[in-house]
Amino acid sequence: METDKYLKIMEELTSNAHEMQEKLLEEILKRNAGTEYLKGYLHGQADKKLFKENVPISTYEDIMPYIDRIANGEPSDILLADLVLGFLRSTGTTGGKRKLIPYTAESLDKMCLQPILAEAVMGKYFDGLDKGKGMYFLFANPEVETPCGLMESSYTTTYFKSSGFENSVAKICTSPVEIILCLDTQQSMYCQLLIGLLQSDQVLRVATIFASTLVRSIKFLEDCWKELCFNIRTGRASDWITDAGCRNALSSVLTEPNPELADSIERACGGQSWQGIVKKLFPKTKYIGVLVTGSMSQYIKILDFYCGGLPLVSEYYSCSEAVCGINLKPLSKPSEVSYTFLPNMAYFEFLPVKEDNEKLTQESRETENKNEDIEPVDLVNVKLGQCYELLVTTLTGLYRYNVGDVLMATGFHNNAPQFRFIERKNVALNLEFEKTTETDLSRAVTDAEVLLEPLGFLLVGHTSYADTSSKPGHYVLFWELKIPGTSDMPKLDPKIMEQCCSTVEKSLNFQYGIQRKYGVIGPLEIRVVKYGTFDALMDFYVSRGASITQYKTPCCIKLEDAINVLDSKVVGRYFSPKTLD
Ligand code: AMP
């Protein structure tokens, strides 16, 4: 890997952020001003000033009719000039609905460049990564043909099938691509673990994309390590592995019995505690590559436990709509991770967030008060400490498109700003006049989680919903608790659980406190669910088209069927006291 070459590219990109952005916008307009979508605003003129004045901020609903028309066979130049190769399907669990984003040869190249740049940064912090392998947990999901014959698939599946993946990550990944592309998740996960364990002495990092996938994979290992050891001891794969790609891939690695390795895995997994299990199984691991920012921060505690304190590195920030940024300081604490935006990836604008005064600087608040209609600002003009909604304009037909993420500007690298991921916009609990955001909820749950620590329980999954069937309505949190290393249900002390309920309530915002005091909102409830419930929730979303690799546990659920999945596994219900002191 040409680390220096790519680090130099990063320096150039970030030094010329403004020029690159201007050039990119010019190019987008030059190519796409004649599309039906833009013609309505620009009358065919590729003019940047007109673009800012006339083109409105958009959401998926605005481009959906165009996407649907393209998917149904109309020429794609109604939205973008370049040849569309297919559609990227975003997970749809964060914002609710699934979205299809067109991709082209050029946008695919950009997708593939991001991991290469991130890898160069990792190479700067960790020596010799190219001398070993990565135990990656990566999963593809099915592709669907649209009526026009183009395929829709997830961002990650598209990437796994690209030559960019083949020429980079695939070369160091313990699993051959056939296993990654196997659509039977159980077989794929099992074989990824087996093949990773067989090469454990070469593994220098354990990684996936989102933290939730790694937690799921470790929990899976808890259930199947004995069978894996049997396979390794005998040199034979289990009969239920029937996928041809998986069997073929295993045949080149599982060639002979290896009782020593089986013994050492048995010692690690059968020991007293699963604390640091990842380090025990893959002793040369230097870091864990998982995104633990935003909603993924709920997994930090459990990953710290399983990974024995190895650094959890969030390498990049990206979405189906556009590649955005890279973390240039991989060793920073998860709460301090910022992503440096790459000005060649998309034309970025930032809409200052109106509410959430806590997060605005005094200066930005003053400017904001003068401006009723807040205008988006360019990449290089963001103010430090201010929160923004991210807007992207791309060659793939997105124009001032609101991604739905809230980011805070935290610094600059050369001339390119850095952002901390704050939360998904509009993902919030909502009752009466109260709104509890993803960040509010996550902070409150973290406060309450402390009460569980002395009991040895870990919170392995949580989500919430606003229950309006009770009078008054109240917030319900679903919690899955676990004693690591066993699938036994922890014995819960109702007093402590009630304390957890009131700790959450006390940590919520001021408005919540008022509404609770006057009885507009009822006492908060925690419903403890059975072991494995959050896996079942993931399976539910995956069955609706979400990708395991891109799955993010929703912090708040509105979909009734998803609530039913959780409700069917409740083992205990606990409430905060009637009055909140
Ligand atoms: P998708 O819609 O499946 O393409 O997922 C993209 C979304 O995942 C983004 O809009 C973010 O909400 C979230 N996301 C991506 N990267 C990160 C990250 N590094 N930290 C937290 N959330 C992220």
CA of 293 to the centre of ligand 1 (A): 9
Which one-letter DSSP state was computed for residue 490?
P
Centre of ligand 1 to C-alpha 402, Å, is: 13
**pLDDT tens, 310-319?**
999 999 999 9
Of 97-101, 174-178, 329-333, 487-491, minimum mean pLDDT range: 487-491
Residue written as token pair 């005064």: 357
Q: Ligand 1: distance of its center to the CA of 418 in Å?
A: 16
Report which protein residue has its CA nearest ligand 1's atom 1: 90
* pLDDT tens digits, 287-342: 999 999 998 998 999 999 999 999 999 999 999 999 999 999 999 999 999 999 99
The Cα–Cα gap between 103 and 140 comes to 18
Spatial neighbors of 292 by CB under 8 A, at least 6 apart, are 211, 299, 300, 303, 312, 314, 334, 337
Give the closest residue (by CA) to ligand 1 atom 19. 317
Output the pLDDT for position 233.
Answer: 98
User: Rounded to the nearest whole angstrom, what is the distance from the C-alpha of residue 424 to the centroid of ligand 1?
Assistant: 9
Ligand 1 mean position to 319 CA, how many Å? 5
Q: How far is the CA of 90 from the centre of ligand 1 (A)?
A: 10
Q: Candidates 299, 318, 389: which one to mutate for ligand 1, based on the most atoms within 8 Å of Cβ? A: 318
Alpha-carbon span 564 to 544, nearest angstrom: 15
* Site residues for ligand 1, CB cut-off 6 Å: 90-91, 94, 155, 291, 293-294, 296, 314, 317-320, 403, 405, 421, 424, 550
CB atoms within 10 A of CB 36: 13
Could you identify the atom of ligand 1 that is nearest to the CA of residue 339? 19
pLDDT on residue 22: 98
**Which of the listed residues 60, 88, 94 should we mutate to test ligand 1's pocket, taking the one with most ligand atoms within 8 A of CB?**
94
SS3 state of residue 313: strand
Q: What is the pLDDT of residues 93-149, one digit of tens each?
A: 444 567 899 999 999 999 999 999 999 999 999 999 999 999 999 999 999 999 999
Angle at 467 between CA 465 and CA 470, to 5 degrees: 165
- Going by DSSP bridges, is the β-strand pair 151-154/86-89 parallel, antiparallel, or unpaired? parallel
Specify the pLDDT at position 483.
83
DSSP state of 83: P
CA 105 – ligand 1 centroid, Å? 22
Residue 347: strand pairing partners? 393
In this prediction, residue 92 has a pLDDT band, given cuts at 50, 70 and 90, of low
Q: What is the rounded distance in angstroms from the CA atom of residue 375 to the CA atom of residue 247?
A: 56
Neighbour order of strands in the sheet with 401-413: 316-318, 323-326, 339-341, 416-424, 401-413, 387-393, 347-352, 377-378
Q: What is the pLDDT of residues 531-556, one digit of tens each?
A: 999 999 999 988 888 888 888 888 89
Residue 288 · residue 278 · CB < 8 Å: yes
- Copy the structure tokens of residue 555: 């912090």
H helices present in 135-237, as ranges: 155-160, 163-166, 169-172, 177-180, 185-198, 211-234
Q: Cβ(548)–Cβ(141) under 8 Å?
A: yes
- Name the residue with tokens 């960040």: 439
In terms of C-beta density within 10 A (0-12 exposed, 13-18 middle, 19 or more buried), how is residue 72 classed? exposed
AA identity, residue 322:
A
Residue 268's CB is within 10 A of a number of other CB atoms, namely 17
Please name the residue whose Cα sits nearest to atom 22 of ligand 1. Answer: 294
Question: What average pLDDT does range 231-250 have in this prediction?
Answer: 97
Report the atom number in ligand 1 closest to the C-alpha of 296: 21
Q: Which ligand 1 atom is nearest residue 316's CA?
A: 19
| Rounded Cα distance, 100 and 98, in Å | 7
| Ligand 1 atom closest to residue 390's alpha carbon, by position in its atom list | 10
Pocket test for ligand 1, best of 210, 335, 392, 553 (most atoms within 8 A of CB): 210
Q: How far is the CA of 218 from the centre of ligand 1 (A)?
A: 22
Give, for ligand 1, the residue of 107, 319, 335, 556 to mutate: max count of ligand atoms closer than 8 Å to Cβ: 319
Beta strands 339-341 and 323-326, pairing class: antiparallel
Q: Output the pLDDT for position 295.
A: 87
Q: Which atom of ligand 1 is nearest to the CA of 324?
A: 16
Name the residue among 42, 43, 102, 46 with its Cα closest to residue 70: 102
Answer yes or no: are the C-beta atoms of 304 and 212 closer than 8 Å: no
Strands 474-482 and 525-529: parallel
Pocket test for ligand 1, best of 121, 159, 421 (most atoms within 8 A of CB): 421
**Of 533, 298, 312, nearest in space to 438 by CA:** 298
Instruction: Give the Cα separation of 431 and 574 in Å (integer).
Output: 20
CA 405–ligand 1 middle distance (angstroms): 8
Tens of pLDDT, residue by residue over 426-469, are 767 888 778 888 889 999 999 999 999 888 888 999 999 999 99
